[in-house]
Amino acid sequence: MPAPYSCHLIDDDEDILALAASLLRDAGHDVCTHTDADRALAAILADPPDCVLTDLMMAGTDGHEFCHRLRTHPELADTRIVVMSSKGYRADQDRAMALGANRYLRKPIDPALFVDQIVSVIEDRIAVTFWGVRGTLPVPGEGSLRYGGNTNCVSLGFADGTLFIFDAGTGIKRLSDEWVARGRPHLDCHIFISHPHWDHINALPFFGPLYQAGHRICVCGAQHGGTRMQDLISAQMDGVYFPITARDFAADVRYRSLHEESLEVGPAHVDTMLLNHPGACLGYRVRRGGRRFCYITDNELYPQGDPNHDPAYFNKLADFVRGADLLVIDTTYSDAEYRLHRDWGHSPVGEVARLADAARVKTLCLYHHDPDQDDDAIDGKLQDAWNTMAELGSETRVVAPMENGRVWL
Ligand SMILES: [Zn+2]
Ligand SMILES: [Zn+2]
């Protein structure tokens, strides 16, 4: 339960005011409502709130002008501003953000999401959503009802609306479906591909925003020799393997080939590291405001005692993920299964647990489950990891996220 926050709502639509106010009040927050911008400004300056939510089109003033006026007052520097509008034009969203808004929210209000959206702006939180947690192949059916059957896809939603997506397995279709259900809001989105094995890229053509103008989408990932990221993506959409080509994208789609490097991306700092897997495969670390999220798949950690165990690589990876609030990482096999799949490019859960403990990771998320494992087998890997952590006396928490699960950082 977040702290009670003070919010001022300004809108000339009494119904919207009543709905937004009741949602926030029901969650325990203090709310003042206004239909007049001048009176609202006087009340806001008298006692600066945590958040101001303003409509874009109001009689006598507009949200852009009101946003600009609020930002001329230094005493409101810590007050977050959310501009709400039914207008879906990219130019209006860009202008609101340029004038100092922290978030542009498209109406109608979604009662299921609204309070989380506002609190995430006030607290600068990041929503981590798991859209698919399986590796290699989608596994629909009775054995995957709890954890879900879709392949690799995890997203980070930042308070300003920026979206990071890690991998484009079949889980990205679920993300795309939610975007449709939310009224197709404009996206500023980076898609970070770990590597171009099928289970990490083959559902990218099913990501709806690619086919609609107004979205900014950057697809990033490791170059393979002379093959650039855009060629890796367009090759699977050349008209033979898929009937729509990458030339049919209507969004502003860019590509970025990455190496081991550090870069500033939107509201976050991103570092990359080459992983132990066939071909060039990148792990990602995202840092924002003291929080750390790591996405490490696919990756083979040879267990201690194995002739291929490489302490230098173990330590390098431990340094990379050190102190992570959330580490999403390849734990394809149980320790017993791994003995039959050595050198396949994936890790046994016990060695990953040792890595997370050595790196003082706060929460370890099991990920990229083998397609031959049903839900009960994933439960078994989770129990194995808990046992390992108990033996180590570790403070690292271990979870096995389910498809459609969401946590906040
Ligand atoms: Zn994979
Ligand atoms: Zn792979």
- CATH (domain of 51): 3.40.50.2300
Angle between helices 114-123 and 14-26 (to 10 degrees): 70
Kindly identify the ligand whose nearest atom is closest to the C-alpha of 200: 1
Assess whether 187 and 306 both reside in one domain.
Answer: yes
Checking if the pLDDT of 329 tops 80, the result is yes
The total number of structural domains that make up the chain: 2
pLDDT (tens digit, 9 = 90+) per residue, 363-400? 999 999 999 999 999 999 999 999 999 999 999 999 99
Alpha carbon of 23 to those of 26, 110, 274, 280: distances in Å? 5, 10, 45, 47
Kindly identify the ligand whose nearest atom is closest to the C-alpha of 330: 1
Kindly identify the ligand whose nearest atom is closest to the C-alpha of 279: 2
Assess whether 22 and 66 both reside in one domain.
Answer: yes
Instruction: Choose one of 123, 141, 157: the last residue of a domain.
Output: 123
Kindly identify the ligand whose nearest atom is closest to the C-alpha of 276: 2
Q: Work out whether strand 216-222 and strand 188-193 pair parallel, antiparallel, or are unpaired.
A: parallel
Query: What is the average pLDDT value for the chain, to the nearest integer?
Result: 93
For residue 1, tell me if it sits in a domain.
Answer: no
pLDDT (tens digit, 9 = 90+) per residue, 41-68? 889 999 999 999 998 877 677 888 888 8
Q: Are 34 and 10 contacting, i.e. CB atoms less than 8 angstroms apart? A: yes
Assess whether 131 and 256 both reside in one domain.
Answer: yes
Q: Identify the CATH number of the domain in which residue 170 sits.
A: 3.60.15.10
Residue 70 CA to ligand 1 center (angstroms) comes to: 48
For residue 263, tell me if it sits in a domain.
Answer: yes
For residue 226, tell me if it sits in a domain.
Answer: yes
% the chain with pLDDT above 90 = 74
Assess whether 73 and 138 both reside in one domain.
Answer: no
Residue 164 CA to ligand 2 center (angstroms) comes to: 20
Domain that holds residue 96: 6-123
Token digits of residue 363? 């929460």
Q: What are phi and psi of 392, to 5 degrees?
A: -80, -10
Average pLDDT score over residue span 223-233: 87
Assess whether 131 and 49 both reside in one domain.
Answer: no
For residue 252, tell me if it sits in a domain.
Answer: yes
State residue 362's pLDDT score.
98
Checking if the pLDDT of 311 tops 80, the result is yes
Ranking 20-24, 36-40, 171-175, 305-309 by mean pLDDT, the lowest is 36-40
Kindly identify the ligand whose nearest atom is closest to the C-alpha of 137: 1
Assess whether 392 and 252 both reside in one domain.
Answer: yes
Instruction: Choose one of 106, 123, 140: the last residue of a domain.
Output: 123
Assess whether 275 and 232 both reside in one domain.
Answer: yes
Checking if the pLDDT of 408 tops 60, the result is yes
% the chain with pLDDT above 70 = 99
Residue 200 CA to ligand 1 center (angstroms) comes to: 6
Instruction: Choose one of 100, 123, 146: the last residue of a domain.
Output: 123
- Choice between 323 and 69, residue whose per-residue pLDDT is larger: 323
State residue 393's pLDDT score.
97
